[in-house]
């Protein structure tokens, strides 16, 4: 199946997954890198980008 840039942007752009509790959050990557965003569920500041399968 073909991939569309609009769909990729909607699904993966600025979306991150908490490393501890696996909840998803949308935030700018600059804020994630500077650890200014915390997880809503467990309050950790460790995130990884959402995986593209």
Q: Mind listing the pLDDT tens digit for each residue in 2-53? A: 788 999 999 999 999 999 999 999 999 999 999 999 999 999 999 999 998 7
Q: Which domain holds residue 43?
A: 15-47
Residue carrying structure tokens 């909840």 = 23
**Has residue 6 been placed in a domain?**
no
32 neighbors 16 (Cβ within 8 angstroms): yes
Residue 4 lies in a domain: no
Structure tokens at 53: 């399968």
Q: Domain for residue 8, yes or no?
A: no
Q: What is the pLDDT of residue 22?
A: 96
Q: Tell me if residue 25 falls in helix, strand or coil.
A: strand
Compute the chain's Rg from CA coordinates.
Answer: 12
Looking at residue 51, what DSSP letter applies? Answer: P
* Residue 1 resides in a domain: no
User: CB-based contacts of 47: which residues, under 8 Å, 6+ apart?
Assistant: 16, 17, 18, 19, 25, 32, 37, 39
The answer to whether residue 41 is domain-embedded is yes
The predicted structure's pLDDT at residue 24: 96
Our count of domains for the chain comes to 1
């Amino acid at each position: 199946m073909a991939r569309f840039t609009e769909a990729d942007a909607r699904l993966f752009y600025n979306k991150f997954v908490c490393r501890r509790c696996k909840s998803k959050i949308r935030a700018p990557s600059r804020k994630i890198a500077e650890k200014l965003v915390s997880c809503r569920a467990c309050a950790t500041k460790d995130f990884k980008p959402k995986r593209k399968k």
